[in-house]
Structure 1
Amino acid sequence: MSHIEYVWDALDRRVRQCVPVPAIIHQLHTAIGEWDNIPQATINSLINSMRISQMTDFLMNCNSLSRIFEIVETHKVYRQKLDELTNLQATCSSAISKQRKGLKDLGHSLCTKTSDEKETELIKDIQMQIKDKENFFFDMEAYLPKKNGLYLNLVLGNVNVTLLSNQAKFAYKDEYEKFKLFMTIILMFGAITCLFLLNYRVTDEIFNFLLVWYYCTLTIRESILMSNGSRIKGWWVSHHYVSTFLSGVMLTWPEGSMYQMFRSQFLAFSIYQSFVHFLQYYYQSGCLYRLRALGERNQLDLTVEGFQSWMWRGLTFLLPFLFFGHFWQLYNAMTLFRLAGHEDCKEWQVFMLALTFLVLFLGNFLTTLKVVHQKIQENPEKVQKQE
């Protein structure tokens, strides 16, 4: 007689002495069949001491333990696959680093090489291929762990922020866009409340603190998105850092006559800026959705508080709103420079804010102007027809 048959016969005899419960007998036979390494004497003693209720409890415990063992085995397989994934990530990262170094050395050698006209064309073609390969490696690295930049290291430490699946990347990007929209609306109503309803220093401080927190959060989230493949470059990366600094200086500006002279102008500017940001989000989202569907834009491209080349088709009507906002920043800088020269001005924040608004104006205006100039140079005939 086999071990399982012995268990079955023992259970059958014990249960039939009490109350015939065929369902329990069958289930116990199946459950104890999974414990084939238990000695027969131990099982016989255990069964003889059981009642029907105890058998039911024992059956439930056996089923629970079986599920636990299944989970343990699944987790074990998961850990093995995770180790394999980590090794593959390290291998890919090392290979890409070597390829990048080779491309960099090749690019330097091409720049220093003297050549005739035919070789110059060939060099330009090679440089274009190098650029394409660098973009290809950039897309690959979006799915590999990488070292954080200086800012993320200071804020989060050396923690891996790379999201491995497309679903996780898109979900984080969408959450970022919703956060921007929600905070834009909150800041607009906050500025309206401070300007028209609550003329108190406390409410102004709350509004300025909200600005500091908002821009700090944006810089962190944008850095994480850049680590995951979003192409946010140039001035639009630095723009939020400068805005964070400006909001922090506004927060520390003490109450006084200089502050009151600039307060209404700043709040009115904040209302207009939030309105323009809302317009940009609304129309850029639709434009990006269309371009992604056509395969012309990356899935992780974001809405920005400025003008980029991909907005040329369909979003040029936003340019007057943007330029008006840029010149309002210049007007803020001029007002603050004038206040800084006032005989009653003793706060360092006035001159610092003037410089910061001037930097924002120059960065925003020159970057937007550069994009417009490039698009006009690329499409002169089209622009003339539109005019």
Structure 2
Amino acid sequence: MELTDIDSCFKDWDDLSAEFKNLEVLNKQYTAKLEEVGELQGKCVKEISHQRYRMSVMKNSLKKFGQDPGYQSAVEQLEKNILVRKSQLYEMEESLPKSNGLYLTIILGNVNVSILNKENKLKYKEEYEKFKLVLSVIGFFLSVINLLVNVRALELAFIFLLVWYYCTLTIRESILKVNGSRIKGWWRTHHFISTVAAGVLLIWPNVETWYHFRTQFMWFNVYI
């Protein structure tokens, strides 16, 4: 809605200024809550580490007491309690930020990639699956085109896509791993190796050996 005169503009500005003051208060509250959350996260991490340390000490002591038949029942009960507590601590850790690991630290630095909301974790997992599907379809069509025509630029475009695809997969999977995903180690290793292999293909010179390999390679990509 357009304003009809200058007085309306000033009146609207005064109203907007009043709303801005409320926004400032709200933003300060939000910033304070963020700082409070950060402090609470640090305390939780510290307390979880303390719990784990105390339980490890207790578990070592129970090994000695377990040899005495008179303490066997009590030892078994405590061991069950420790297992339950470990499970509880694991659930708590799911809501806390985790370290990135070496690979993500090298790629992204110390950026916090932890997703604390379960719904957002699920969305990120779904986006990961969608990303794989879309790129697989694109890769399929590029492979078919490269089988039908022999254009070096198309070959390089396809191989560069593979490098980018597998490199992106390794990053996304590392983020999923940080956020509690149970992606198998062999699956991630396969994508790391594929990234390196695609990089080698990208710099493979346009010589006779490449053309001996090219058709089989494109059919392989159509198949997978």
TM-score, L = length of structure 2: 0.82
* Aligned equivalents of 1:120, 1:65: Cα separation in 2: 72
- Contact 2:65-2:75 within 8 A present in 1 as well: no
* Aligned equivalents of 1:272, 1:176: Cα separation in 2: 21
Give the CA deviation at 1:90.
0.7
Match for 1:213: what amino acid?
A: W
Specify which of 260, 281, 284 is matched with residue 211 of structure 2. 260
Specify which of 259, 268, 271 is matched with residue 222 of structure 2. 271
Aligned to 1:176, what secondary structure does the other structure show?
helix
1:19: which partner in 2? Answer: none
1:209: which partner in 2? Answer: 160
Matched, 1:171 2:113: no
Aligned to 1:162, what secondary structure does the other structure show?
coil
Match for 1:206: what amino acid?
A: A
* Aligned equivalents of 1:107, 1:80: Cα separation in 2: 40
- Give unmatched runs, 5+ long, in structure 1: 1-52, 274-387
- Give unmatched runs, 5+ long, in structure 2: none
- Aligned residues: percent identity? 42
1:1-387 equivalences under 5 Å are: 56-104=8-56, 133-195=85-147, 197-273=148-224
* Aligned equivalents of 1:167, 1:256: Cα separation in 2: 51
Alpha carbon RMSD of aligned pairs, Å? Answer: 3.2
Give the CA deviation at 1:143.
2.2
| Cα pair distance change 1:142/1:59, threshold 3 Å | same
- Contact 1:142-1:162 within 8 A present in 2 as well: no
| Cα pair distance change 1:186/1:74, threshold 3 Å | same
Give the CA deviation at 1:113.
9.5
Aligned to 1:78, what secondary structure does the other structure show?
helix
- Contact 1:139-1:229 within 8 A present in 2 as well: no
* Aligned equivalents of 1:256, 1:222: Cα separation in 2: 35
* Aligned equivalents of 1:150, 1:74: Cα separation in 2: 38
* Aligned equivalents of 1:266, 1:121: Cα separation in 2: 63
- Contact 2:94-2:180 within 8 A present in 1 as well: yes
* Aligned equivalents of 2:203, 2:76: Cα separation in 1: 52
User: Highest relative contact order (Cα 8 Å, sep 6+), 1 or 2?
Assistant: 2
- Contact 1:138-1:229 within 8 A present in 2 as well: no
| Cα pair distance change 1:79/1:206, threshold 3 Å | same
- Contact 2:99-2:178 within 8 A present in 1 as well: no
CA deviations 1:21-62 (Å, max 9, x no partner) are xxxxxxxxxxxxxxxxxxxxxxxxxxxxxxxx6764443232
- Contact 1:219-1:240 within 8 A present in 2 as well: yes
CA deviations 1:287-343 (Å, max 9, x no partner) are xxxxxxxxxxxxxxxxxxxxxxxxxxxxxxxxxxxxxxxxxxxxxxxxxxxxxxxxx
* Aligned equivalents of 1:251, 1:123: Cα separation in 2: 61
* Aligned equivalents of 2:65, 2:203: Cα separation in 1: 55
- Contact 1:191-1:270 within 8 A present in 2 as well: yes
* Aligned equivalents of 1:214, 1:244: Cα separation in 2: 8
Give the CA deviation at 1:70.
0.8
Aligned length: 220
Match for 2:175: what amino acid?
A: I
| Cα pair distance change 1:64/1:88, threshold 3 Å | same
- Contact 2:104-2:171 within 8 A present in 1 as well: yes
| Cα pair distance change 1:115/1:163, threshold 3 Å | same
* Aligned equivalents of 1:250, 1:165: Cα separation in 2: 40
TM-score, L = length of structure 1: 0.50
State which structure, 1 or 2, has the greater radius of gyration over its C-alpha atoms: 1
| Cα pair distance change 1:71/1:193, threshold 3 Å | same
| Cα pair distance change 1:253/1:124, threshold 3 Å | farther
- Contact 2:98-2:179 within 8 A present in 1 as well: no
- Contact 2:169-2:191 within 8 A present in 1 as well: yes
| Cα pair distance change 1:248/1:58, threshold 3 Å | closer
